[in-house]
Amino acid sequence: MKLFFFIISIIFAQVTFAQDTLVNSKPKVWSLEDCITYALENNITVKDATLNKNIAEVSYNSAKSSRLPNLNASVSQNFSNGNTIDPITSDYVTDQIHSTNVGINSSVTLFQGNQISNQIKQNKILFDQSVFQETVEKNNIALSILEIYLQTLYSKESIIIAENNVVASEKEVERAKARLDAGTIALSEYTEAQSQAATNKYNVISAKNDYQQYIIQLKQLLELTPLDTIEIETIDESIDLVNLELNRIEVYNKALDYMPEIQVSDLNIAANEKELDIAKGAYLPTLSLLGSLGSGYTSINDTTLSDQFDVNFNQQLGLSLNIPIFNRKQTKAAVTTASINIEKAKIQKQSTEKEIYKKVETAYQNALSAQEQVIAAEASKLAAKQSYELAQKKYELGALSTTDLVISQNTYTNAQQNYLQAKYLSVLYHQLLQFYQGNDIKI
């Protein structure tokens, strides 16, 4: 019995310690740079792109090895009965024969219409393309992190606004109750104050839910488990958001030099051009060097196994020339298809350039607009705050109805939300413009 209570006490102590650890532990505070760095190392999309790059490297190395000769060994054991030809001596005999053949053979392609060389070059191009494609995926993840991170910050500050509104509306309910008891307002005004307080509480719940949804999206990009808890770092309020003197054409030209999508498109064209060279190589003959060593043993010979292997040892060396004459127009079809794919690759590059220009132009215009909106929204927020504070004083003196007070509070809340939205949009588009110029994402 004492042992039982001793075990129970140990288990209880461990559970208590674990609970205290969970309660006292604080979630890690993640900066934007922390999130991007961690995601680039752990995100499964990036890992998949890295694996594709590794596969392309293996294919490139395999293509280089195609220049080397092959080497194969063979062993066969045969039994025949009756009239037959001895596979070793080539004599015509009528008997039971056991024979053994061993050998090695090798061949190497000396010329194949330059297809091997072009295949190696194409695989090198595809490997280089996979390197840039990996960078594309990393950039996409970094931009996704930036967007979700700023949305999370926006949602987090929205919670503060909503909670402040709850505190203010609860005080207004108390004032309305006092005025109702004094007979200075109607019951409808009191219930309206209660309704506004309930609405504000609902807004807090909604804002917290939005925040948790963004946290979930951020954790998924970071590949964190549901048990992991995170907090994000706020941004510097004094950050210089947008340079109004920035030339969008210069940004676009820098983007063309920096964005890996352009390199991917260029290498796609080069890879298809090599595919055309490979296809044309099928029109030319193939010259191969062949060689083999072999020996064998037969049961109808009275000599020993080692003697027969020594006597029957043979060597062969030769050249093989394969000249294509007609292959049902397969080569012509391959050449035509490769030529079409080159044109498609060039069109794809044009489409990529247009898409980059659209992104740069959109980010530039939105950045300018967002900066102007920040200035206007900040002025509107200040004016709405002063108006709301004045409305509160009037309400305390009984010079303002509950309806007008609620309207003033909602106006102030909307002004705060508009300012937050403009601020974070300005940060987002500023960072996008920096990114398109090859600068790091950093706030």
- Complete domains list, the chain, with CATH: 26-90+117-284+324-436 (1.20.1600.10)
- Unique residue bearing structure tokens 């709301």: 388
Answer yes or no: are the C-beta atoms of 267 and 129 closer than 8 Å: yes
Q: Residue 412 corresponds to which amino acid?
A: Y
Q: What are phi and psi of 92, to 5 degrees?
A: -85, 120
pLDDT at 241: 52
> Beta strand 28-30 with 230-232: parallel, antiparallel or unpaired?
parallel
In terms of Cα–Cα distance, which of 112, 121, 115, 119 is closest to 289? 112
Q: For the CA atoms of the chain, what is the radius of gyration?
A: 39
pLDDT at 151: 96
229 CB neighbour count, 10 Å cutoff: 13
Distance, first Cα to last Cα, the chain: 63
pLDDT at 380: 96
pLDDT at 310: 84
Output the DSSP codes for 288-341: EEEEEEEEEEETTS-S-HHHHHHHT-EEEEEEEEE----STTHHHHHHHHHHHH
313 CB neighbour count, 10 Å cutoff: 13
Q: What are phi and psi of 316, to 5 degrees?
A: -135, 140
Name residues of the chain where pLDDT drops below 70: 1-26, 82-90, 92-95, 236-246
Answer yes or no: are the C-beta atoms of 40 and 46 closer than 8 Å: yes
Answer yes or no: are the C-beta atoms of 272 and 345 closer than 8 Å: yes
Q: Which two tokens stand for residue 441?
A: 């994402």
pLDDT at 87: 62
Distance of alpha carbon 18 from alpha carbon 28, whole angstroms: 18
Q: Which two tokens stand for residue 95?
A: 């008997």
pLDDT at 202: 96
The burial class, CB within 10 Å (0-12 / 13-18 / 19+), for 16 is: exposed
Q: Measured at the alpha carbon of residue 365, what is the angle toward residues 426 and 413, in degrees to the nearest 5?
A: 40
pLDDT at 21: 41
pLDDT at 237: 61
- Unique residue bearing structure tokens 């009037």: 394
Helix locations, 235-299, DSSP H: 248-258, 260-281
pLDDT at 88: 63
In terms of Cα–Cα distance, which of 358, 357, 356, 371 is closest to 430? 371
> Beta strand 70-80 with 97-112: parallel, antiparallel or unpaired?
antiparallel
pLDDT at 441: 86
- Unique residue bearing structure tokens 């288990």: 11
